[in-house]
Structure 1
Amino acid sequence: MPSTPHAGRWSRRRFIGTAAAAAGAGLLPGAVPAQGGPWAQRPPGHPRQVTFVVWQYGKIYDQIAKQFEDDWGVKVNQVIEPNVEPQVAKLTAMYAAGDTVDVSQSPMQYLANYIEQGIALPIDGLPGVEQYVRDFTPFTRAIAQRDGKTWGLPYFSTVWTFMYNDELLTRAGFKDKPFRSYPELVDQARKAKRDGVARYPILWIGGQGFEQLPGTWFSLTCNRGGVIFDRQLAPQLGAGSVARETLRWWQGTFKDELADPNSLNLRFIPAVKAFNAGQHVYLGTLHHYYVSLINDAAQSPIAGKGRVLGHPGDGKTIGYTMLYILTGNTKDREWAWKLLQYLGGRTKNGEYTQANRLATDAMLGSGYQSVMDSELLRKGWSKWGDVPTILSAWKGATNFAEVVPTVSQPWYPRWSDMMNVELTACLQGKVTADQACDNMVAAVAKAKRA
């Protein structure tokens, strides 16, 4: 999720915006312009302005706001926060104060709360919704549709993958042979360490957050056939569980000094920057599009050497779609819907302008199947990585909520905070995997009470 604030030109919110600013969006090759659809019709009235509340991401919001204003002659009031946490605080504060908000982003872990509190409104019955729903990817349907209603339009989609430094892998004696199993990963890392190729061959995404440290554990657990909670929302962390044994194995990579201990301080962008110093063979696990930073000749010392690698075995991993939502404080639902479509759907000319721009110029996945299947996306992604490999990882991806179905529960954000503490303590060797998992099970009741 594009969310984490970092200094310098490498900030997660800026790298997509910088790329996106360089090019406009094109029509999907072979697609017929949907200019006659409901997105081309002007809603009644003329509001003084419409308002969205988002977290910063380069210049993408300036671009789409200008297009909206040029197309409809209505000013867009942009409320832009630096990252997810202050954006959530701003939205909830504005809602509580009764301030007008028409459209907002919704982090996946907060959507249930937004629905429960009335901050999010369903969009069913608005002009064009059915056409959008027909083009939703499975990831988008999984997050956007619940309780028989549709709760927004897609911002972007992603899947978790490994990445590796092809030059260092070759120096370690494994040219064009990245690991295909976890024992092989350990064996390759041991040889790379023994041969002096890398002091710590593995760099993990281990910084605390909603999807950084936990996402690595979730993707590894999913790949091994496990889940964190079952569909009845019971934790699956007991003795002998896949999740517990995965954590035990993961802790071992630190105990054996194969994994960089600084991993536990690194969220996505800082980890990529550290990996680009050329001192690690493998980086895992993280959103697919970060290979664009690894192979960016203007910024990366190892540009051209980064490769995407799917999870071993059947390639099973996790992924998700992030949403834009219509908010309960809108004073004009029809114009709010028009604004929502510019952010997460079609613009007046019938194009998926924002989705195309982010997919082709920033390597983000789309929440629309037609964009994911387009040649336009493939051409855009090919600048940074092997597209068939990346899309193969996509085909093996399970929705985040299938592995952690409690993410849709109002108490999940509190439990997530406690989980982060336990995972960190375990990987630091302060507690065992058994103790950490037992503590996480006990934390469920605490989170519910809070």
Structure 2
Amino acid sequence: MTKVKTSLEDVLIARRNFLKALAAVGAAGGGVLPGISFAEGAYSARPDSDVDQINLVVWQYGNIYDEIAAKFEADWGIPVEKVIEPNIEPQIAKLTTMFAAGEDIDTFVSILSTMASYIDQGIAAPLDDLPGVQDYIDDMTSLARSTATVDGKLWGLPYLSIAWAFAYNDELLGKAGFAGKPFGSWEELTEQCLKAKADGISTYPLLWVGGPALETLPGTWFSQVCNRGGRIFDEDMNPEMGPGSIAREALQYFRDSFIKHEIADPDSLNLKFLPAVKVFNTGKHLYLGTFHNYFMNQMNDPAQSPIAGKGRIHGLPGDGATLVATWYYMLSDATRNREWAWKMLQYLGGKTKDGVYTQALSLAKSSMLYPGYTSVAQSAEVREAWSDRVDVDVLNQIFASGVNYERVVPAVTEPWYSKWNEQLNLELTACLKGQISVDVACDNIAAAAIAAKR
């Protein structure tokens, strides 16, 4: 049989035509597709329909998907096909390729910056009509609930919530003469690092998460802009990085740490999150910024870190305003069986058959992934599990001071964001290396955003 090569546009057109036809049937009194109406409640109830298997399309994170798939299969007797890519970028490519090819997709994971594209393309399906969904909405943190709600519809169950934060090496900070007194302002961060450098305590006291990617280097700049009270775009997606802007002020500070003061490790521009944490764990830097909060798990794990017990999480200066975001597990519109896909989605981002938030609790306790559910985040067992790796009160205060990523970078919900992000990384890297000025970088970044919107 000859296979016909089908473009993503062809698939989208066909799928949208199908949905229009389905809507017409419903309007004419023809009812809805079988398997979409359920009895309310019932994370423990078996669906009436049958399915040969169900799948998930995710990126690798330890063996969590082997474990949750095994539990699903044991509870329900339904095989789980695990499509697991090594990290985020290949997973995005795999998911969109599967959808374009018309393959079955039941559940998948998404970072914040890809959610809007998945919704716009028709890859994702809303959850509002599904049994028990309101119970999840009621238990979600305000951050998780607000981010998952688009045009009045819920589009995912939370995987984890993230805050951008600093860490410091308590031992080195004491040697520099600042024991128990981490910086309280951006100027103080520079002053402490300059003193540590002058005293020979650290060649480069400051390590940034500066490797180019969707949320690494951009997030480090965005979090500084957020903390200073600025934003990258206004509500109409117009760039806010012109002359005199907070965005330029923050980028100038960022650049000066490399070029003017020489306190920032030049290798920062090659380091994404985990590699940056591993370098910080060697004990050669006072500060690491800005990284995702859950990497404190690696920093203070004796099996993984030479500085275990010396790493401290620290909020951003002033009122502590920082970026916060939630990533989600989503239901596909290309699912082979909506009832069973919803069941699998709950195992990933909600409750299992026994009524327990199995995945959220496991990830919180073992990996310090901040839950998207209030009941889990405030539970005594989670606090106890975290207490030997992080100051839990400081961590909670960082989240309490958080500003939703979408308020600072509203374009993150636009389909063109990912493409613009590629140019953003190029311009930021060139600026921080001293190849172009802050003004040129911001002009180029803004122009690229305007072009991407068209």
TM-score (norm 1): 0.91
Query: How far, CA to CA, are the matches of 1:113 and 1:202 in structure 2?
Result: 35
What is the 5 A alignment of 1:40-439? 40-255=44-259, 256-439=261-444
- How far 1:107 sits from its partner (Å)? 2.2
**Equivalent position of 2:453 in the other structure:** 448
CA–CA distance in structure 2, aligned partners of residues 274 and 93 of structure 1 = 35
* Cα deviations by residue, 1:213-257 (Å, 9 ceiling, x for unpaired): 011111111111111111121111011111111101111111111
Shift of 1:178: 0.6
Kindly indicate whether the alpha-carbon contact (under 8 Å) linking 1:46 and 1:74 is maintained by their aligned counterparts in 2: no
TM-aligned CA deviation for residue 143 of structure 1: 2.0
1:33 matched residue in structure 2: none
Q: What is the CA distance between 1:37 and its match in structure 2?
A: 4.2
Instruction: Tell me the secondary structure at the aligned position of residue 257 of structure 2.
Output: helix
Which amino acid is the alignment partner of residue 131 of structure 1?
D
> Distance in 2 between the 1:93 and 1:186 partners?
46
**Quick one: which amino acid aligns to residue 379 of structure 1?**
E
Distance of 1:93 and 1:178 partners within structure 2: 47
Distance in 1 separating the partners of 2:84 and 2:254: 38
Give me the whole-angstrom Cα distance separating, in 2, the residues matched to 1:361 and 1:298. 14
Distance 2:150 2:137 in 1: 13
Which residue identity is paired with 1:361?
A: S
Aligned-residue offset at 1:142: 2.4
Distance 1:80 1:240 in 2: 45
- What secondary structure sits across from 1:420 in the alignment? helix
- Give per-residue Cα distances to partners, 1:34-77, cap 9 Å, x unaligned: xx941011101221101111111111111111111111111111
Q: Separation in 2 of the partners of 1:64 and 1:261?
A: 40
1-side partners of 2:395 and 2:144: how far apart? 19
SS at match of 2:161: strand
1:51 partner letter? N
Alignment-mate amino acid for residue 83 of structure 1: N
The answer to whether the Cα contact below 8 Å between 2:238 and 2:450 also exists between their aligned partners in 1 is no
Matched residue, 1:8 = none
CA distance in 2, matches of 1:268, 1:237: 26
Residues 5-24 of structure 1 show CA distances to partners (whole Å, capped at 9, x for unaligned) of: xxxxxxxxxxxxxxxxxxxx
The answer to whether the 8 Å contact 2:364/2:371 transfers is yes
In our comparison, the structure showing a higher alpha carbon Rg is 2
- Which residue identity is paired with 1:417? E
Alpha-carbon deviations, 1:166-204, whole Å to 9, x = none? 111000011111110111111111110010000111001
Which has the higher mean CA deviation after the structures are superposed, 105-114 or 206-215? 105-114
SS in 1 for 2:347: helix
> Which amino acid in 1 is paired with 2:399?
W
SS of residue in 1 equivalent to 2:43 = helix
Q: Secondary structure at the match of 1:39?
A: coil
Counterpart AA for 1:239: P
Partner in structure 1 of residue 17 of structure 2: none
SS at match of 1:40: coil
Give the paired residue count: 414
Q: Secondary structure at the match of 1:157?
A: strand
Is there any run of 5+ residues in structure 1 with no aligned partner, and where? 1-35
C-alpha contact 1:139 1:320 (8 A) present in aligned 2: yes
For 2:344 and 2:240, locate their aligned partners in 1 and report how far apart those are by CA, in whole Å.
41
AA aligned to 1:151 is W
Aligned equivalents of 2:319 and 2:244: distance in 1? Answer: 22
Alpha-carbon distance in 1 for matches of 2:354, 2:321: 38
Residues 37 and 350 of structure 1 are in contact (CA less than 8 Å); yes or no, is this contact kept in structure 2?
no
Between the two proteins, what is the percent identity of the paired residues? Answer: 54
> Please, which runs of 5 or more residues in structure 2 have no aligned partner?
1-39
Q: Provide, for residues 318-370 of structure 1, a one-character-per-residue CA deviation record: whole Å limited to 9, x for no partner.
A: 11110111101112111110010000000000010000001111101011111
Pairwise CA RMSD of aligned residues? 1.1
| Structure-2-length-normalised TM-score | 0.90
